[in-house]
Structure 1
Amino acid sequence: MDGNDAGEAGGLRLAAEGAETRALLTGALGLADLPDLQARLARIEGPVTFDLSGARRIDTAVAWALLTARDRLAAGGTRAEIAGATGDVAAILETVRAALPEPEPQPGPPRGLRVQIERLGAHVAGGWEGFLSFLGLLGLFVARLFGALLRPREFRLTALAHHCQAVGLQAVPIVALMSFLIGVVLAFQGSAQLRQFGAEVFVVDLIAISILRELGILLTAIIVAGRTASAFTAAIGSMKMREEIDAMRTLGIDPGHALIVPRVLALVLMLPILGLLANVAGLFGGALMSWIELGISPAMFMTRLSEGTDLNHAAVGLVKAPVFAVLIGVIGCRAGLQVGSTAESLGRMTSAAVVAAIFAVILADALFSIFFQQIGV
C-alpha cells in the first residue's frame, strides 16, 4: 500500500453465525497484510462466507489468497462463498479468478463392457505369467536338488534339519488339535444324520474315509500353507530387501541351492509325517465322540475300522502330500524373491503367497480326486 492508504488499514474479523463462520474483510488490504491473512484463512475449516462488503480496496495477492482458501474448502466438501464484493473489489476478484488455472476434472471410475474385458484379460495374463514364473522356480528347485544329490558335500544338511524342525515339529500341536476337532465334528454330525436310518455304525466308515482320504492331508496342507508359505516369503523377502541375496551371488553362493532347496525339501519330507499324525488325531477324535455320542466302544471302533476301511484310502491321502509340499514351498519362495525394496511390498507378497498356496493346494486336491476316481482307486 502507498501512503494514501495509511488511514484505510484493513483487516479480517471472524464472526460465528451458528454452524457457519462469517469472515468480514474491512478497509484496504494489500501485500503487507498477506502473511497474517493467509495464516488466519488456513485455520478456517467449517462452512464460511467471505464478506467483502466492508472492503474498500484489495490487490491481486489478497484476491488470490481468498480464492485459494475458497477452493481449498470447496474441494474438501465444505461450503465456502465470497459475497458483498462491489466495484473495484469485484473487478479484481474476477480478474484473478480468470487468471487462475482451471482445476482438472477428476476422472470417474472406468465403466463399460470393454473395460471389464480388459481387466479380465489383464488378470488372465498376470496369472499366466505367474504360472510360468512358478514353473521356472520349480525347474530351478529340481535342477539344484539333483545337483546336490550328485555332489553331497555341497548339500546343506544343517539348513535342512533347521527347516524340518520349523515346518514339521513346530506344526505338530496345531495340526493335531485341528485334526482332532475335525474328527469330533464329523462323528457328531454324522451320527445325527445316520441315526435317522438306524445306521449309526457306519459313522466309523464316514470318519475313516473322510479323514484318511481327504480331510486329514488337506487340512494339514492348508495349515502348513498358512504358516510356512508366509514364513518362507517373509524370510527370503527380508533378505532381498537387505540385499543379502545379491551379496550371496557376489560371494559365489547360489541362492537356489542355499535358500530354496532346503526349505522345499524339508516340506517334502515333513508334510507326509504331519499328514499321518493328522490322520491319527482325526481318527482319535472321531472314536472319542462316537463312544460318547453313540456308545461305540474303542474296540468296536477299531474292529469296524479294520474291516470296513481299505488301506488304499490312507495311501491316496499320503500320496498327495509331496505334491502339496512342493506347491507350498515353491510358491512361498517365489513370492519372497519377488519382494521389492519396501515393507509394503513384503506384506503384500506374504499375503499373496498364503492365498496362492491355499488355492493351489485345493486345486491340486480336486485334480487328484478326479484322477483317483477315474482309475477306480
Structure 2
Amino acid sequence: MREWAEARVEDAGGRSTVILSGPMVISSIGHLDKELRAMTAPVQQIDLSGIGSIDTVGAWTVWRFASQHDAQITGATPEAERLIEAVRNAESTADITPPRSSIFIRVFEDVGHKVIEQWHGTVRVISFLGAIVISFFNSVVHRRFRMRALVRQMELVGVASLGIIGLMSFLIGIVIAQQGAVQLEQFGAESLTVNLVGRLTLRELGVLMTAIMVAGRSGSAFAAQLGTMKLTEEIDAMRTIGVSPMEALVLPRILAAVIMMPLLGFYASIVAIIGGATLSELALGIPFFTFLARVQEVVPMYDLYVGMIKAPVFGLIVALAGCYQGMQVQGNAEEVGLKTTQAVVQAIFMVIVLDAVFAVLFTKMGWA
C-alpha cells in the first residue's frame, strides 16, 4: 500500500510548527502540496524529522512553503539539507514572461530581419549560380564532363515525365477549347476557337504548365535527393575524395532541365492542340485534321519562338531552385521536407514572375 506524505500543525510556546511525515517524493506529495498552499496562518517552524525519503520536488515544496511563511526548517537529514540548499541556490527572480516591446517596434524589427534575410539569400543564390558556371567551364576545359549522369537526369526529367505532362496538356487543351467555344458562341465566332487554342498553348500555357509540373516533379526530387545526401554527409565524403559535388551532382541536373524543358514544352503544346482538336470534332463539328491545318494558318511562327525562348530559362529556374535548396539542408531530417517545399514554391513563383516579364518584353518587341 502506498504511503502518503502528511502534515499536522502543533502550537508550542506560542510557536506554530508544521510537522511533516512520510516520503517527500513526487509520487506522494500531491495532496500535501494542496494542503500547504491552503495554509494561511503564520508558521514559525517546519519539522522534517518524521519524513522518509525526499527528492527535488519534495525539497522544493518544503523550501517554497518555508519562504512564504519565513519559517525555520528543523530536523532535516543531511540529504534533505543538501537538496533544500540546492533548490534555494537555484532560485531565480527573472520574469517568467520576458518584457515585450511595442507592436510598432516589433513589426519594423520583423520586416528588417526579413529584408536582410532576403538580401543574404539573393547573394547566396547568385554565388551558387556563379559556382555552377565555373564548374561548367572546368568540366569542359578539363574534359571531365559527366555525360552518363547528364543522360540519366535527362531521362528522369524528360522521358519519365512524358506521360503525366501529356495527360495534363491534353486535358488543358480540352478545357481551353470547351470554355473558349462557350464564350465565342455568344458572338457567333466558334471558328476562332482554333486561334485561341493554338496561340494560347504554343505561346503561354504549354511551356508555363510544363514548368510548373517539372517544378513539382523534378525540382522537388532535386531538393530531396541533394538534401538527403547533404544530411548523410555523402557530399562531404565526395569532397574528401576530390570529387566536386557541383560537377557530379548539380551540373547534370541543371543542364538536363535546361535541355529538356524546350522539348517538353513543345510536346505539351502539341498534345494540348490535339486535345483541343479532339473536343472540336466531338462538340463543335470542326473536323480533326481541319482543326490542325487551320492552326498552321492562324498561329504565327513567333508564337512558337516565344515559347521556346522561355522554356530553357524556366528549366534553369526550376533546377536552380531545387539544387540550391537541397544544398542548404543541414541539421536534421525535417530540413529536407522544409527545403523541398521551399524549392517548389520558389520555382513556381519565379516561373510565373518571369512569364509576366517575358510577356511585357515580347509585347514591346512586337511579338504580341
Hey, what's the Cα distance between the residues in 1 that align with 2:29 and 2:57? Answer: 8
Q: Which residue pairs with 2:325 in the alignment?
A: 335
Q: Does 1:362 align with 2:352?
A: yes
Q: Does 1:326 align with 2:316?
A: yes
Hey, what's the Cα distance between the residues in 2 that align with 1:110 and 1:228? Answer: 44
Instruction: Report the residue type matching 2:331 in the other structure.
Output: S
Hey, what's the Cα distance between the residues in 2 that align with 1:92 and 1:319? Answer: 78
Q: Which runs of 4+ in 1 moved over 6 A?
A: 66-69
CA-CA distance at 1:227 after TM superposition: 1.6
* Native 8 Å contact 2:8 2:20 kept in 1: no
* Native 8 Å contact 1:11 1:26 kept in 2: no
Q: Which residue pairs with 1:39 in the alignment?
A: 27
Aligned positions, number: 329
Q: Does 1:223 align with 2:198?
A: no
Instruction: Report the residue type matching 2:157 in the other structure.
Output: V
Instruction: Report the residue type matching 2:366 in the other structure.
Output: G
Q: Which residue pairs with 2:70 in the alignment?
A: 95
Hey, what's the Cα distance between the residues in 2 that align with 1:366 and 1:294? Answer: 32
Q: Which residue pairs with 1:312 in the alignment?
A: 302
> Residues 213 and 108 of structure 1: is their aligned pair in 2 closer, same or farther, counting only changes over 3 Å?
farther
Q: Which residue pairs with 1:129 in the alignment?
A: 120
Q: Which residue pairs with 1:106 in the alignment?
A: 97
Instruction: Report the residue type matching 1:260 in the other structure.
Output: V
CA-CA distance at 1:93 after TM superposition: 4.8
* Native 8 Å contact 2:24 2:58 kept in 1: no
User: Which one of 96, 106, 112 corresponds to residue 115 of structure 1?
Assistant: 106
Instruction: Report the residue type matching 2:153 in the other structure.
Output: H
- Secondary structure of the residue aligned to 2:329 is coil
Hey, what's the Cα distance between the residues in 2 that align with 1:105 and 1:215? Answer: 56
- Secondary structure of the residue aligned to 2:96 is coil
* Native 8 Å contact 1:339 1:345 kept in 2: yes
* Native 8 Å contact 2:170 2:272 kept in 1: yes
Hey, what's the Cα distance between the residues in 1 that align with 2:227 and 2:202? Answer: 36
Hey, what's the Cα distance between the residues in 2 that align with 1:49 and 1:43? Answer: 5
CA-CA distance at 1:148 after TM superposition: 2.4
Task: Give the alignment of 1:259-278 within 5 angstroms.
Answer: 259-278=249-268
Unaligned runs of 5+ in 2: 10-17, 72-87
CA-CA distance at 1:366 after TM superposition: 1.1
1:50-102 alpha-carbon deviations (Å, 9 max, x no partner): 4867x99955799x958978xxxxxxxxxxxxxxxxxxxx8775337xx7655
CA-CA distance at 1:108 after TM superposition: 7.2
> Residues 102 and 274 of structure 1: is their aligned pair in 2 closer, same or farther, counting only changes over 3 Å?
same
Task: Give the alignment of 1:150-189 within 5 angstroms.
Answer: 150-152=141-143, 154-189=144-179
1:157-215 alpha-carbon deviations (Å, 9 max, x no partner): 11111111111111111111111111111111111111111111111111111111111
* Native 8 Å contact 1:58 1:92 kept in 2: no
Instruction: Report the residue type matching 1:331 in the other structure.
Output: A
Q: Which residue pairs with 1:292 in the alignment?
A: 282
Instruction: Report the residue type matching 2:303 in the other structure.
Output: H
> Residues 59 and 331 of structure 1: is their aligned pair in 2 closer, same or farther, counting only changes over 3 Å?
farther
Hey, what's the Cα distance between the residues in 2 that align with 1:167 and 1:104? Answer: 56
* Native 8 Å contact 2:257 2:319 kept in 1: yes
> Residues 108 and 296 of structure 1: is their aligned pair in 2 closer, same or farther, counting only changes over 3 Å?
farther
Hey, what's the Cα distance between the residues in 1 that align with 2:29 and 2:338? Answer: 41
User: Which one of 138, 141, 147 corresponds to residue 147 of structure 1?
Assistant: 138
> Residues 29 and 313 of structure 1: is their aligned pair in 2 closer, same or farther, counting only changes over 3 Å?
farther
* Native 8 Å contact 2:184 2:192 kept in 1: yes
- Secondary structure of the residue aligned to 1:341 is coil
Hey, what's the Cα distance between the residues in 1 that align with 2:288 and 2:100? Answer: 63
> Residues 102 and 166 of structure 1: is their aligned pair in 2 closer, same or farther, counting only changes over 3 Å?
same
* Native 8 Å contact 1:163 1:263 kept in 2: yes
Identity of aligned residues (%): 37
Q: Which residue pairs with 1:242 in the alignment?
A: 232
Hey, what's the Cα distance between the residues in 2 that align with 1:43 and 1:350? Answer: 51
Q: Which residue pairs with 2:197 in the alignment?
A: 207
Hey, what's the Cα distance between the residues in 2 that align with 1:305 and 1:41? Answer: 86
Instruction: Report the residue type matching 2:328 in the other structure.
Output: Q
> Residues 123 and 101 of structure 1: is their aligned pair in 2 closer, same or farther, counting only changes over 3 Å?
closer
* Native 8 Å contact 2:46 2:66 kept in 1: no
Hey, what's the Cα distance between the residues in 2 that align with 1:231 and 1:246? Answer: 20
> Residues 66 and 255 of structure 1: is their aligned pair in 2 closer, same or farther, counting only changes over 3 Å?
closer
Instruction: Report the residue type matching 1:135 in the other structure.
Output: I
Hey, what's the Cα distance between the residues in 1 that align with 2:47 and 2:211? Answer: 73
TM-score by length of 1: 0.78
Q: Which residue pairs with 2:241 in the alignment?
A: 251
Hey, what's the Cα distance between the residues in 2 that align with 1:286 and 1:296? Answer: 10
1:260-282 alpha-carbon deviations (Å, 9 max, x no partner): 11111111111111111111111
> Residues 101 and 245 of structure 1: is their aligned pair in 2 closer, same or farther, counting only changes over 3 Å?
closer
Hey, what's the Cα distance between the residues in 2 that align with 1:67 and 1:185? Answer: 74
- Secondary structure of the residue aligned to 2:271 is helix
Instruction: Report the residue type matching 2:105 in the other structure.
Output: R
- Secondary structure of the residue aligned to 1:30 is strand
Hey, what's the Cα distance between the residues in 2 that align with 1:203 and 1:140? Answer: 47
